[in-house]
Structure 1
Amino acid sequence: MSESTRKALESCLWQLKCHFTWTLVDGGKSLDDFEDKVCDATEFQNNEFKATVFNILAYIKHRRGHNKAALECLWQAEELIQREHSDQAEIRSLVTWGNYAWVYYHLGRFADAQIYVDKVRRVCEKSHSPYSLESPELDFQEGWARLQCGRKHNERAKVCFEKALERNPKNPEFISGLAIASYRLETWPLPQNPINPLRRAIRLNPDNQYVKVLLALKLQKMKEEGEGESLIEEVLEETSCATDVLCGAAKLYQRKGALDKAVELLKKALEGMPNNAYLHWHIGCLYRTKVLDLLQDTGKNEMYGKREKLEEAMGQAVYHLKRVDEANANLSCVCSYLACLYAQAGQYDKAEHYFQKEFSKELSPGAKQVLHLRYGNFQLYEMKREDKAIHHFIEGMKIDQKSKEKEKMKNKLQKIACIRLSKNRTDSVALHLLAFLQELNGEMQPAENSERHLDSRSFIPPASFAEE
């Protein structure tokens, strides 16, 4: 292909409505988490929207340089469209064909790319642009694609569904899409009221169980639990519930504190996808909550009677969280949760192993603060190593991010300093701690001969200190 012909092909490609021209993912760093979520959605959803998910997955595979895998995803999307929407196959395939064209172009297979560009042109030839079509179905596909891509895309997704509804105001799919986008925009970026779109979507498509779950969750938030629970009970009476429906119902029961019912629903979902890391994560977190509740509500005199329940909850929490860890899913705090559970069980070697595994990961500033707080607590209360606890509380405090964890570490350091000073008014560790905290708060300037940026290791006493 000559250079001029290649440039002409590239010009056509940029006119196509598809994932390559919608700019769905910002930066390569987000691809791991993004791919996990898309794969999760592929499993969780019915065939209704799987073609959209396979198209997104194809785009991600391409971004990773796996173009042959991308073509396999596009083939799966095309097969689903032909099987589920044979009466609208051409219109619904335009996005997939556009993605095909882009992948073949990047593979250097320009003739194949041109074949798919021509397929799009033949469908769009009656429109003003030969490679683009103003179609509510295309707006719907873009809107649904954006719903899969995180909250930054929810506002644009809502606009896409509204545009589709202008041309086809009674289409149940379009109304369901608008309802879901409105629900997700309830608190970000502007307050929305999704109640009316959700009710309208249910009226037009009473078989859409997922929208019923969203309405139930919204009603629960508005303190109208009765109607919300009735909707959930109605949904759960269905002989077979989609996984996203079961997860939504579990969320409702979790909110009202019915953890056993939430676990029951998530385990039912797990039957159909036993290796799904997200399900194991949610179940593990629910069992962890049960452990914390039992420890908090049980006094020493009652502990013996509840020991069996506590051990069962801890065992289940560890089992499910280990499944997440083994799957290498990009989910935060998994290892530190495991570490804390093992610490509670007195298995300190395993606790240390998982803490160090969490430290070895690339963590956000907030996640680092959480980890320093948890590991500091482990050293302080379980290992009785105040020096190491101080080190990690200080490292967490140094992270420039306001959080409740930072406040907790500040309070712990102040308490440690006060206790030490009550025993020895000239305790150098305590005085250094107070100076560090005051400097961090901007309450006082350090002396000219002191280090401007104190190293936490300078607060650790010599090895013999504890023996004095």
Structure 2
Amino acid sequence: MSNTPKDSLKEKLNQLQCHFTWTPKKETIDLEDLMYRLEDAIHFAIKYQATSYNQMAFVNCLEGNHEEAIKNLKEAEKILRENHKDEFERRSIVTYGNFAWVHYHMGQLTKAQSYLDKLEVICKPLSDGPRYTAMIPEVYGEKGWSLMKTSAESYEEAKECFAKALEQDPDNTDWIMGYATVLSRLEAFSGTTEHHERSQSVKHLRRVLELDPDHSLAMVLLALKLQKFNAKKEANELVQQALQKTPDFPYMLRYAAKFYRVEGAVDKAINLLKHILEFTPKSCFIHHQLGMCYRSKLMPRTADPYHTHLRYHALQHKTELIEQCKYHFEKACKYRKRSAILPHLDLADLYVKIGDHSRADEIYSFLLKLQDIHPENIQVVCLRAGSFELYHRGSESKAIKLFLKGLKIEYNSNERKRCRYELEKWADRKLCRNPCDSKALGIKGLLFQQSGNKAKAIQYFEEALETDHDNEDYLSALWELRLSLKGQDDA
């Protein structure tokens, strides 16, 4: 029961559709990184400025910057009035919901209520549902874009939002583009390798280009997908078209640079990335891409072993490339300290290559302590850290623990498969040397248990217990397996 006007007001606010009711808890968001990306979006993704200002207001409110949040929302309202005169009321539902919440957090309850009153007037003819909101495509679409920008954990929910927006407005390129983008990211997480003709993200990117043949961002994102499927001729043509249509659009240019780096045209990629960096000096994505470009140039170079001059210049060039890699990977990590998993891993890998194992160990230790990150990211950290321990530190026990941690995370990814492969390879190698190695037998038992082969799992756990009689993990697994088989027999 509500005891105060503030409690009563909050009950109404919780019914709204806006960032304050959508977004995960503050501790699960990398606010600093999100703010950087929103600033970039405001400068370079003109079409989605209002959406970015809305989300920036939410971040500023979380940080206690209430006055700045109000400024952000006024900017969003102004942009919506200018760009969507005929649809302003439909487009303003999220903005007015955010206004109400910020004023509530400022203790300005009368102003908060005034925005609820505005929403009630706007939403009444649009919906028979909740009193202060309307589940229309514009609301679903903004929720989808905002969730996708918040964190990878929100991609599935973002996908559902775009799907619901498209149910009501099937030819809207904004919602199709959002749906295609989130599908592409989810395909990358799951390690999908299907043919491009069956790829859902490819299908929807093609649909965007059917409706808007000049959509340069859709062109390069489609090119990147086709590149993975070896449809290189069409992919190259799409990138060239995009560069001709919008040669100064940073969002498009950064994906074009990624395309050229993967294609092997590294100098072309570096030139594009340096151009973008002039506008976005704190972009984690751009610094990471530059680091990868310089790393690809670090291929072994042969020089005449008898020609001192050539050997000196080759060594000098290699040193310069290492410093460039290190500089850009470190910048990427600095600007997204918590969420830049791959730049951190690439920096650790660089330290391994140059023999600085203590710095690599620091990075892996930091990443392994992170909380609330995407399951696939945990798996890739476990895989890379485990490989480091096994192949560079010679610590089998630490490596096995890390591979097991990655395997036990219930998320189907290539990294999980590789953790399994490393465990199997290690166990088979140990058993070739010593068929009674209890740890290797236990690992084999676990692998068979995970794959559903209960009989083989029992066999290996029993063999492991012949040597390691009191191992609680093996006893527990064996008890569970036997109980499961007994249940099947009874049935």
Q: Same fold (TM over 0.5)?
A: yes
Shift of 1:416: 8.8
1:156-196: CA deviation from partner (whole Å, max 9, x where unpaired): 13323313415xx4x55455445545655667899653455
> Which of 146, 151, 157 lines up with 1:153 in the alignment?
157
> Which of 376, 384, 407 lines up with 1:370 in the alignment?
384
Gap change, CA 1:7 and 1:340, over 3 Å in 2: closer
CA distance in structure 2 between the aligned counterparts of 1:101 and 1:392, rounded to whole angstroms = 51
CA distance in structure 2 between the aligned counterparts of 1:145 and 1:290, rounded to whole angstroms = 37
Q: Which amino acid in 2 is paired with 1:163?
A: E
Whether 1:201 aligns to 2:208 is yes
CA distance in structure 2 between the aligned counterparts of 1:446 and 1:182, rounded to whole angstroms = 46
Measured on the aligned residues, the alpha-carbon RMSD in Å equals: 4.0
Whether 1:399 aligns to 2:422 is no
Return 5+ residue gaps in structure 2 as ranges.
193-197, 371-377, 408-415, 446-459, 474-491
Shift of 1:448: 6.2
CA distance in structure 1 between the aligned counterparts of 2:342 and 2:215, rounded to whole angstroms = 34
SS at match of 2:341: coil
Gap change, CA 1:301 and 1:79, over 3 Å in 2: farther
> Which of 360, 365, 379 lines up with 1:359 in the alignment?
365
User: For residue 31 of structure 1, what is the aligned residue in structure 2?
Assistant: 29
Gap change, CA 1:409 and 1:288, over 3 Å in 2: farther
CA distance in structure 1 between the aligned counterparts of 2:9 and 2:336, rounded to whole angstroms = 40
Shift of 1:58: 3.1
Shift of 1:265: 2.4
Gap change, CA 1:18 and 1:374, over 3 Å in 2: same
Q: Could you tell me whether the CA contact under 8 Å between 1:210 and 1:244 is conserved in 2?
A: yes
User: For residue 341 of structure 1, what is the aligned residue in structure 2?
Assistant: 350
User: For residue 167 of structure 2, what is the aligned residue in structure 1?
Assistant: 163
Percent identical across equivalent pairs?
A: 26
Gap change, CA 1:7 and 1:126, over 3 Å in 2: farther
> Which of 312, 333, 340 lines up with 2:320 in the alignment?
312
Shift of 1:434: 3.9
SS at match of 1:274: coil
Gap change, CA 1:322 and 1:194, over 3 Å in 2: closer
Tell me which moved more, 398-407 or 155-164: 398-407
User: For residue 223 of structure 2, what is the aligned residue in structure 1?
Assistant: 216
Tell me which moved more, 174-183 or 245-254: 174-183
Q: Could you tell me whether the CA contact under 8 Å between 2:205 and 2:218 is conserved in 1?
A: yes
CA distance in structure 2 between the aligned counterparts of 1:268 and 1:336, rounded to whole angstroms = 26
Shift of 1:218: 3.6
1:225-264: CA deviation from partner (whole Å, max 9, x where unpaired): 2222112112112464322211221232233333333333
User: For residue 465 of structure 1, what is the aligned residue in structure 2?
Assistant: none
Tell me the TM-score normalised to structure 2 length: 0.71
Q: Could you tell me whether the CA contact under 8 Å between 2:173 and 2:208 is conserved in 1?
A: yes
1:59-97: CA deviation from partner (whole Å, max 9, x where unpaired): 344456665554444344334334544554443222111
Q: Could you tell me whether the CA contact under 8 Å between 2:140 and 2:162 is conserved in 1?
A: no
Aligned positions of 1:167-182 closer than 5 A:
169=171, 171-180=172-181
1:350-407: CA deviation from partner (whole Å, max 9, x where unpaired): x41342243144143541442242244333xxxxxx5xx3454344355362552564
Shift of 1:318: 0.8
Q: Which amino acid in 2 is paired with 1:152?
A: E
Shift of 1:301: 6.0
SS at match of 2:98: helix
CA distance in structure 2 between the aligned counterparts of 1:140 and 1:133, rounded to whole angstroms = 13
Aligned positions of 1:35-434 closer than 5 A:
36-37=33-34, 39-44=36-41, 45-63=44-62, 67=66, 70-86=69-85, 88-129=87-128, 130-133=131-134, 135-149=136-150, 150=152, 151-165=155-169, 169=171, 171-180=172-181, 183=184, 192-195=199-202, 197-238=204-245, 240-291=247-298, 294-295=299-300, 304=311, 306-327=314-335, 329-330=337-338, 331-332=340-341, 334-335=343-344, 337-346=346-355, 348=356, 351-361=357-367, 362-363=369-370, 364=378, 366-379=380-393, 389-390=395-396, 392-397=398-403, 399=405, 401=407, 402-405=416-419, 407-408=421-422, 411=425, 434=437
Q: Could you tell me whether the CA contact under 8 Å between 2:33 and 2:336 is conserved in 1?
A: no
Return 5+ residue gaps in structure 1 as ranges.
380-385, 422-430, 455-468
User: For residue 441 of structure 1, what is the aligned residue in structure 2?
Assistant: 444
Gap change, CA 1:164 and 1:59, over 3 Å in 2: farther
CA distance in structure 2 between the aligned counterparts of 1:366 and 1:221, rounded to whole angstroms = 20
Gap change, CA 1:5 and 1:203, over 3 Å in 2: same
Gap change, CA 1:306 and 1:158, over 3 Å in 2: same
User: For residue 195 of structure 2, what is the aligned residue in structure 1?
Assistant: none
Gap change, CA 1:432 and 1:392, over 3 Å in 2: farther
Tell me the TM-score normalised to structure 1 length: 0.74
SS at match of 2:350: helix
SS at match of 2:167: helix
Tell me which moved more, 125-134 or 244-253: 125-134
Tell me which moved more, 264-273 or 157-166: 157-166
SS at match of 2:169: helix
Q: Which amino acid in 2 is paired with 1:282?
A: Q
> Which of 435, 449, 471 lines up with 1:452 in the alignment?
471
1:427-467: CA deviation from partner (whole Å, max 9, x where unpaired): xxxx799442233323322456767379xxxxxxxxxxxxx
Q: Could you tell me whether the CA contact under 8 Å between 1:373 and 1:392 is conserved in 2?
A: no
Q: Could you tell me whether the CA contact under 8 Å between 2:403 and 2:422 is conserved in 1?
A: no
Gap change, CA 1:106 and 1:300, over 3 Å in 2: farther
Tell me which moved more, 432-441 or 224-233: 432-441
Q: Could you tell me whether the CA contact under 8 Å between 1:124 and 1:133 is conserved in 2?
A: yes
User: For residue 448 of structure 2, what is the aligned residue in structure 1?
Assistant: none
* Paired residues, number: 422
Q: Could you tell me whether the CA contact under 8 Å between 1:58 and 1:69 is conserved in 2?
A: yes
CA distance in structure 2 between the aligned counterparts of 1:354 and 1:193, rounded to whole angstroms = 38
Q: Which amino acid in 2 is paired with 1:268?
A: H
